[in-house]
Amino acid sequence: MKISNGEVRFFLAAGLLGALGCGLSEYQQKYEKQQERMNYLDQENQYLGSPLNVPAPKESKNVPPKVFLRLPIGISPNHDEKPEGILYRYPKSGSKISVDSNVKPSEIDSAFFAVETDKDWNEIKKRALEPFKGVDLQNVPTVNLEVPGRPPRTFQTITFRYGDDPAWTYQFYFYKDDVYRVAIGFRGTDKVMASDNAKQAMEYSVKTLAVGKAASR
């Protein structure tokens, strides 16, 4: 069967358009993923402020752990001088929050943080909650949290009330990888911790956690 020059040109044009179509489709997918990532960061910035200052090792010869974590707006990046067990408390900031329609303060009272390396996973959870007598760690549910463009990560989480005057609601998240074991906690009144703003702020904060080389980036 003989193919004319016109037919050759037709098939070449069709092939070129197909190739361009594949390229455009791939570009569109990358653009949409990038746009999703940018939209997510805009939402994150509505709830989060500065990253916390990681506590220095108790022994000066030890290398500080590489950790990155942004805290909810209104929480100081500086921890109290004295820890509660292995937990460091990050109190409310003394700075006034500027009125901005894009900012959503959560009114969370405090954040808590602890990090250790190469330690027993169950032991660090137990030690992190030692200041809260009677908290049951037998049934701690897991939750998968995902950021656009990254694989989901698994955390264990627990919510409990503690204290009488005042009574606080606490929510803790626990994370581990091959090296790091991290405890992240938040505290507020029952009303605050049940609010959408607080729930969003806590989740966005926990999802910023990065350890090791990822924290350096």
Structure tokens at 90: 């990050």
What local confidence, expressed as pLDDT, does residue 101 receive? 64
124: confidence class by pLDDT, cuts 50, 70, 90: very high
Distance CA 38, CA 144 (A): 21
Look at residue 73 and tell me whether its pLDDT is greater than 90: yes
The tokens 């949290």 sit on which residue?
Answer: 145
Q: What is the mean pLDDT of residues 110-134?
A: 93
Least-confidence region, from 108-117, 130-139, 178-187: 130-139
CA distance 39 to 25: 21
Which pLDDT score, from 0 to 100, does residue 8 have?
44
How far is residue 113's CA from residue 183's CA, in Å, rounded to a whole number? Answer: 6
pLDDT digits (tens, 9 = 90+) for 147-192: 998 899 999 999 999 988 889 999 999 999 999 999 999 999 999 9
Task: Please report which helix (H) or strand (E) contains residue 112, including its range.
Answer: strand 110-117
Query: How distant, in Å, are the alpha carbons of 46, 131, 142, 198 from that of 71?
Result: 12, 22, 21, 12
Give the global pTM: 0.84
Inform me whether the pLDDT recorded for 136 exceeds 90.
Answer: no
Q: Which of 71-75, 101-105, 184-188 has the lowest mean pLDDT?
A: 101-105
* 121 φ, ψ (degrees, to nearest 5): -65, -50
Q: How much is the average pLDDT of 79-93?
A: 94
pLDDT at 3: 46
For the segment 83-110, the average pLDDT, to the nearest whole number, is: 85
Mean pLDDT estimate for the chain? 87
User: 5-61, pLDDT tens digit by residue?
Assistant: 555 455 445 555 555 566 778 878 777 778 888 999 999 999 999 999 999 887 666
Name residue 212's amino acid: G
Q: CA 95, CA 75: separation in Å to the nearest integer?
A: 9
Top pLDDT among 140 and 3 is at 140
